[in-house]
Amino acid sequence: MATNPKNLAEIADLEIRDGLNGLTPARIITLYRRAPLLRPVSDPKRVWEMFEKASLVLTAWHEGELVGIARVMTDGVLFSYLCDLAVEPDVQRLGVGKTLISAVEERCKGTELLLRDSDISSGYYAYLGFNSVENAWIKKIR
């Protein structure tokens, strides 16, 4: 990154964009590698398809640099699935993730927002008011 903001004031000019504007497979992959977020980063075509087919993509930009991504599948009525949330490590814990989730909530009003967490992020979602559920099931379709 061009700068390394140390506090919230320095990231106050955060820009939130809707859609693929400014995104490239390389930018997404760099962010996923750095965050880190486990995704098929060795296959740029597949990564781009994940974004083209998503119903909602929100990105956070600071001084022209991509610093955060939220990707959502939603029917806009009942359910929304937050597929990915990743924030550039230089600006983690400065409110970028929280801002992206607020923007998702704004656009998915009235739906239930579901997600899978990871060992490092479960405390985060509890902190943001998510409840963990027992009755979730997952199957990998081959």
Ligand X SMILES: CC(C)(COP(=O)(O)OP(=O)(O)OC[C@H]1O[C@@H](n2cnc3c(N)ncnc32)[C@H](O)[C@@H]1OP(=O)(O)O)[C@@H](O)C(=O)NCCC(=O)NCCS
Q: Which residues bind ligand X (CB under 6 A)?
A: 35, 37, 85-87, 92-98, 117-118, 120-121, 123-124, 127
Strand runs labelled E in 14-119: 15-18, 56-62, 65-74, 79-87, 112-115
Give 7 or 21: the residue with its C-beta nearer to ligand X: 7
Burial class (CB in 10 A: 0-12, 13-18, 19+), 72: buried
- Closest contact distance (angstroms) between CB of 43 and ligand X is 19
Give 42 or 142: the residue with its C-beta nearer to ligand X: 42
Contact criterion met (CB below 8 Å) for 11 and 96: yes
Q: Which residue shows structure tokens 């081959």?
A: 142
- Closest contact distance (angstroms) between CB of 120 and ligand X is 5
- Closest contact distance (angstroms) between CB of 39 and ligand X is 10
